[in-house]
Chains A and B, each alone.
Chain A
Amino acid sequence: MNYNILGYSIFISIIVFIIVVVGKICYRNGNIFVAALIPDHLELCQQINQSLLVSYYLVNIGYCAMTLIGWETITSPLQLLEVLALKLAIIICILSVLHYINIFLLTNTIHKLIK
C-alpha cells in the first residue's frame, strides 16, 4: 500500500471541498459589496463576481495541486495523519489570512461609500 497516493487523494478531496464551500459563501455574500461598488449595473456586477469566483477556484486549487510535490515519503498511517493535518493546516491558514485581508479592504471601501 502506497500511503503517499492515499494521502494525496484524501488531501485533494478535503481541500477542494473546503475551497468550494468558502468560495460559495464569499460569492453569495460578495454580490452585495460588488453591487454597492458599481451601482446601477446589477448584471455587470454578477458577471464580475462570477469571474472572480472562477479565478479564485483556479488559483487556489492549482496552488494546492502544486504543493503535492513537496510531501515527504510516508511510511505509516500515523505519519499519514500527521502530514495530512499539517498540509491542510497550512492551506487553511493561508486562505483565512487572504479572507481577512479581503474583508478589511471591502469594509474600508464600503465605509467610504456609505459616508
Chain B
Amino acid sequence: METTKILIGYAIYLPVALFLTFYVSKTLFKNSKIYMLDIFKGREEIANATNKLFETGFYLLNIGFALLIMKITTTLSSYQHLVEALGTKIGGFSIYLGLMLFINLYLFFRGKRKANQPPKPAPFPPTYVGQ
C-alpha cells in the first residue's frame, strides 16, 4: 500500500505549505505598507500598487516552489518513513520561506536607504573644445 501512503503525504503536505505561504505573506505585506510609503515619499497610490504587486510575486514564487519540491521520491514502506519524509519536506519549505522573507525585507530596506539618499548631481554635459 505504498501508493496510499504517498497520497496521504501529499494530502498533508500541500495544505500545510499553502497555509504557511498564506500566513507569511499576510504578515509580511500587512507590515510592509509603511516601508512602501516611505520609499515612494508618501505617494499612497503608487505605494499600494507596488505592495500589491510584490504580494502577488511572493505568492507565485512560494506556491511554485512548494509544488516544485512536492514529489516524494523515496520508497515509503512504513508510516515512520512517511513522517520522516514529510518532516524533510515541510522543514525544507519553511527554511526556504524564511530565506524569502529575509530577502524581501532586504529589498525593502535597500529601497528605503536608496530613497533617502539625496539625488546625484547631474553630470556635466559634454563640452566640445575647439572649432
Contacts and interface: CB of A to CB of B under 8 A. Distances in A.
Contacts of B12: none
Contacts of A85: 67-68, 70-71
Interface SS majority for chain A? helix
B68 A86 contact: yes
A22 B67 contact: no
Contacts of A38: none
B52 A29 contact: yes
A89 B49 contact: no
B3 interface: yes
Interface residues of A, number: 34
Contacts of B114: 111
Interface stretch (A39-47, A50-58, A64-72, A93-101): A93-101
B6 A92 contact: no
Interface of B: 3, 6-7, 10, 40-41, 43, 45-46, 48-50, 52-54, 56-57, 60-61, 63-68, 70-71, 111, 114-115, 119
